[in-house]
Amino acid sequence: MLDNIVKFFTSLRLTVTCLTLFMLIVFVGTIAQVDQGLYIVQERYFKSIFVYWGPENADWQIPVMPGGYLVGTFLLLNLVGAYIARFKLTRKKVGIYISHAGLILLILGQLFTDLLSRESAMEIKEGETVSHSSDFRLNELALIDHSKTEEDKVYALSESFLQSKSGATIPSGPLPFKINVKDYWPNVSLVGKEKEGYTRIEANSGFNNVFLKAMPPETAMDQRDVGAAVLEIMDGDTILGEWLVATVLDPQKFNHQGKEFSVGMRAKRYYEDFSLTLLKATHENYTGTMEPKNFASRVRLQNEGTGEDREVLVYMNHPLRYHGLTFFQHQMSANEMVRRQGLTATSTFQVVQNPTWLTPYLACAMVGVGLTVQFMVHLIGFTRKRRNSSPSSINTRATTPKTA
Amino acid sequence: MKKLLPYLLLGLFTLWIVSALRAPKAKGYMDDVSFGQLPVLREGRLQPLDSVGMNALIQIRGTRKVPVEGNNEKGEWGAFLKIRGEGSGQLSERRWYQFGKRPKKLNASEWLMEVMMHPEIADERYIFAINHPDLLDELGLDDQGVEKSGLFYFTFHEISEHFPTIRRHAQSAFNQEAALRSPFEKAVIKVWVGLNTYMEFKNTIAPQDSHDFNSDLEIYLSSIAPGLEAWRSQNAGSEHDEAALGLFSGYMDRFQHLSSAGTLLIPPNKDSGTSDQWSTMGTNLIQAIQTMGVRPAVRSYAKMASAFHGDNSGNFNQAASQYKESLKTDFGTELKRTSLEFSYNKFSPFYKSTVIYLIAFLFACSTWFSGSEWTRKTAFYLIVLSAIVHTGGLITRMYIEGRPPVTNLYSSAVFVGWGAVLLGLVIERIYKDGVGAAIASIVGVLSLIVAHNLALSGDTMGVLRAVLDTNFWLATHVVIITLGYASTFFSGFLAIVYIMRGFFTKSLDKDTSKSLTRMVYGVVCFSTLFSFVGTILGGIWADQSWGRFWGWDPKENGALLIVIWNAIILHARWGGMIRERGLMNLAVFGNIVTAFSWFGVNMLNVGLHSYGFMDAAFKWLMIFNASQILIMAIGIMPLSTWASFRSTATKAA
């Protein structure tokens, strides 16, 4: 029994099966991007155990295909299994040994990247100093206490928490108030006047002439969901007011007992203990064209904790790596048009936290070296064999080596 | 005699190559060589005027030259305009069977000279290719233009009156998302863009209505001072010289037009500091209001324009060569580079390579049937010669661009061919059985034909988008992954040889099939290495520029598919799941995988990598895939139907 299990997990048949399934997932996942967008495809096909399918508008779905994680797990088991059970470190096999170790590292590295990495965007206007970045997709509800003069106190609630409390009450505990989540939508479209399919939202304390329509999640890469909620905020049993909050609406202020507060939805923020100041954003075009040649941002990095204060130039293919974060030049509005209109230039960095970013470098080196060694061993063996067999006649059919 | 034949043929083709390498000399009576070599800045790239003309011609007409002669319905031969004047109806450039007739043609530089300096003549050249039947109907061009092999060409004069109609259709076509445009809309946009380029060229050196630009320039310069004086007086409300103002402002209006040209003719003044850039004639002419003079380059072009329009070849040639000479002090390196590019355009190394590969392929194939050594040797030598030309072309491109060999889809096709040819030569050297030579030459031909068609979309040495502007990654990731494509195709073609020879001929004996198997196996190993390392390097590049190693972007997935497919072949072989024929069929399928990854994903038009979008090729991709599936279907036919195995199979039965 155990023998059979070991045999199964170490067999080349499993390897070929998994690779074939993987290929299928990659292919289908590539074609599916045309309709579904990259983000959803990643979640559905690659970062999943099974790929589900169901008819449109039906509330059931069946697994139709293994997902990336399932196949990846089997491949990894297969690799590790074969590694332990079959590979022997001989001169002839050393290349295979190294390259497969590199593969294991690569797959594990990707898994950890999926689990541990975080991507966000930091938008800075020229001259501005910023110490937080915003998530590309996730939103949050921010309740801010502005009463302190030095720093605001921010209470942030995640979307998933908000969703779980939809129609329920969030007790005051750590929060200064009790919040009744009367309604919550992950994605909406808002308009200012009556329109078909839209309903009017009555929220007496803030915007009250807004029409709303619930939308399916965004699929386009450059669009994000507009999260919205209707909240009733209470201090004990006193109702302070009812607000419609949404990521596209400004935060709304209110006073309570002499303190100023604001409430609003926004992109989820990550705060860092250092700050970046944008000194200069440069958008260079090729002469006589609109084709961009380079985007570069000169920033000043300040960290009060360590006393660091230096200038850095971030440009294409040259990110800034600092404190486990990497800042990439992502977007920019700093061309001549912007300057001519008297607008302030803006530069956006993509901020990536990925503790395992070095693994692909190492894995690539290992697989490259491993495969090269392996094929060199093959090639040397092959040419030696050929030299020993008779190269007398030039004609093809006679010279093919007899050794197979 | 047969022993000498390979050398004789090699000598013959070498002679052809060497004779084409001689320094270009102007054949016509205007010095098109000096003119064509002049450096200008267009689309962000310093290039010779010849390339400006050639790339525009390729886009507008689909050819690199403009025939000026042809025949009419009665088969009479002559200048288009003349025989059109005599008869009516369609004119034909040359009937497909009239091989002997070589109509006089304008090269790109000669054509550009006419457009820029004597547009009245250029307007009567048949250069606008319009072939969509609905568009021809819409414009009512049925009884105009000339025809060659079913393609129709029209003059600017003929279509200029339909300008409003074309603009109306073009505007609505531009409102449509590029991926969703119908063939009609694409055709309209092509004509519209072509017309605009053409009209821009007409107003690049001189305003299109100027007949003696050199004198115009002198009059303009002397009109500035009185003109400005009159303008100031007019503004002050006092009496002013109406005539002086009229003359001056008339020039200003015309030059304003010139300053929006896309071709920047006038080199920067190197003494004035670094900020000075290349500029248009118009900008310089308008700046003369402040400086009261123009740069020497402006005067040189004005002299050329006047001389050309006045049909004075002596003056033109003198002005052109004098200007070229004057550039040598400050722009010596630039001029060398553009002169080299001019010669490269003239020599067209990849065209010559294609011809020689094709001939070599015929020799290599005949080896299998005749078994004679001299044909194999001839094929081998010719491929070596052609590979030298191919390599020379690649190196010249690299020097001109200052970049690694692969920068866009076009150059990847050239490079894939190059990689496959070298691989084939190595294999031919080892096995000496004509297989390596046959595949080297056919992959060479096919990839260069693909490249030729890709070149129809515009300048093949265009500038790179910001994120791609890095020679390090272009040199490592792109080159390695392209070699991965090349070798995967190579193993696929080896497998096709196996299947074709085995099924249709009796030439696939045991030894041959064993050596073919070994070749395929070896090449698959090679492709696994290259496609894997290339893919991972791509991931590392993405990590450097976008902040993620892997994003499941279509282009990345495409590369990954090749890696996985090669890995599947190797593991299936090691596990004994496939034997010879299985290996061959899987290798043929590798062709489909590679074609999808190389071209197919670009057609999806999603993702960060979509830098090489094209759609006309979709049909060809499908045809290619179908052909590969057909070959695989043959590959899985029972052995008893295979010509080579019939005897052994029946014996076994």
- Domain edges within chain A: 2-116+359-399, 120-130+273-353, 135-270
Chain-chain contact of B553 with A38 (C-beta, under 8 angstroms)? yes
The interface residues of chain A toward chain B in range 343-372, judged by CB-CB distance below 8 A, are: 350-352, 354, 357, 360-361, 363-364, 367-368, 371-372
Let me know if A146 is exposed, middle or buried by CB neighbors in 10 A (0-12, 13-18, 19+): middle
The interface residues of chain A toward chain B in range 18-37, judged by CB-CB distance below 8 A, are: 19-20, 22-23, 26-27, 29-31, 33-34
The residue type of B234 is Q
Chain-chain contact of B540 with A386 (C-beta, under 8 angstroms)? no
Chain-chain contact of B470 with A316 (C-beta, under 8 angstroms)? yes
The interface residues of chain B toward chain A in range 541-560, judged by CB-CB distance below 8 A, are: 541, 543-554, 557-558, 560
Nearest CB neighbour to B547, from listed A23, A319, A400? A319
Domain ranges of chain B: 1-26+348-463, 27-202, 213-332, 489-653
The interface residues of chain A toward chain B in range 164-193, judged by CB-CB distance below 8 A, are: none
Distance from CA of A37 to the nearest CA of B (A): 8
Show the 3-state SS of B17-55: HHHHCCCCCCCCCCCHHHHHHCEEEECCEEEEHHHHHHH
Residue of B14, B40, B37 whose CA lies nearest to B24: B37
Query: Measured between CB atoms, does B582 come within 8 Å of chain A?
Result: no
Rg (CA), chain B: 29
Provide the pLDDT for residue A201.
82
- In angstroms, the CA B59 to CA B187 distance is 12
Distance from CA of A161 to the nearest CA of B (A): 28
- CA nearest A46 in B: which residue? B552
Split at pLDDT 50, 70, 90, the class of B272 is low
Chain-chain contact of B604 with A30 (C-beta, under 8 angstroms)? yes
Provide the pLDDT for residue B653.
43
> Helices H, strands E: what count in chain B?
27, 11
- CA nearest B260 in A: which residue? A288
Query: Measured between CB atoms, does A395 come within 8 Å of chain B?
Result: yes
In B229-300, DSSP assigns E strands to 263-264
- CA nearest B517 in A: which residue? A404
pLDDT 10s digits, A282-300: 888 887 777 788 889 999 9
pLDDT 10s digits, B318-373: 999 999 999 998 899 999 999 999 999 999 999 999 999 999 999 988 887 777 88
Provide the pLDDT for residue B23.
78
Q: Per-residue pLDDT averaged across B129-133, rounded?
A: 86
Q: SS3 helix, strand, coil % of chain A, rounded to 5? A: 30, 40, 30
Chosen from B552, B555, B602 to mutate, greatest number of chain A CBs within 10 A: B552
Q: Compute, in degrees rounded to 10, the torsion defined by CA atoms B347, B352, B353, B354.
A: 130
CATH code for A120-130+273-353?
A: 2.60.98.10
Q: What is the DSSP string of A337-357?
A: HHHHTTPPPEEEEEEEE-TTT
Q: Per-residue pLDDT averaged across B527-548, rounded?
A: 86
Provide the pLDDT for residue A183.
87
pTM of the model: 0.77
Query: Measured between CB atoms, does A116 come within 8 Å of chain B?
Result: no
**pLDDT tens digits in sequence order for chain A, 404 residues long:** 788 888 888 888 999 999 999 999 999 998 888 777 777 888 889 888 998 887 777 778 888 899 999 999 999 999 888 888 876 777 778 888 888 899 999 888 888 888 888 888 999 999 999 999 998 888 999 988 888 877 788 888 888 888 888 888 888 878 888 888 888 998 988 888 888 888 888 777 777 778 888 888 877 666 788 889 988 888 888 888 888 889 888 888 888 888 888 899 999 999 888 999 999 988 888 877 777 888 899 999 999 888 889 999 998 878 898 888 889 888 888 777 777 788 888 999 989 888 888 888 898 889 989 988 888 887 787 777 777 764 443 343 333 333 33
Query: Measured between CB atoms, does B568 come within 8 Å of chain A?
Result: yes
Distance from CA of B477 to the nearest CA of A (A): 12
- In angstroms, the CA B152 to CA B159 distance is 13
Split at pLDDT 50, 70, 90, the class of B201 is very high
Nearest CB neighbour to A13, from listed B45, B264, B575? B575
Query: Measured between CB atoms, does B463 come within 8 Å of chain A?
Result: yes
Distance from CA of B562 to the nearest CA of A (A): 9
Query: Measured between CB atoms, does A293 come within 8 Å of chain B?
Result: yes
Chosen from A7, A10, A15, A16 to mutate, greatest number of chain B CBs within 10 A: A16
CA A340 to chain centre: 35
Chain-chain contact of A364 with B554 (C-beta, under 8 angstroms)? no
Check pLDDT > 50 for residue B223: yes
Lowest mean pLDDT among B173-182, B239-248, B565-574: B173-182
- With contact defined as beta carbons under 8 Å apart, do A14 and A78 qualify? yes
Provide the pLDDT for residue B457.
75
Query: Measured between CB atoms, does B649 come within 8 Å of chain A?
Result: no
Query: Measured between CB atoms, does A392 come within 8 Å of chain B?
Result: no
Provide the pLDDT for residue A401.
39
Query: Measured between CB atoms, does A72 come within 8 Å of chain B?
Result: no
Check pLDDT > 80 for residue B502: yes
Query: Measured between CB atoms, does A319 come within 8 Å of chain B?
Result: yes
Give the HSE-up count for residue B523: Cα atoms under 13 Å, Cβ half-sphere: 34
Provide the pLDDT for residue B54.
93
Provide the pLDDT for residue A400.
37
pLDDT 10s digits, B284-309: 999 888 888 888 999 999 999 999 99
pLDDT 10s digits, B466-478: 667 677 777 788 8
Provide the pLDDT for residue A391.
44
pLDDT 10s digits, B595-612: 998 887 777 755 444 444
- Structure tokens that stand for A231 in this block: 């909240």
Provide the pLDDT for residue A236.
80
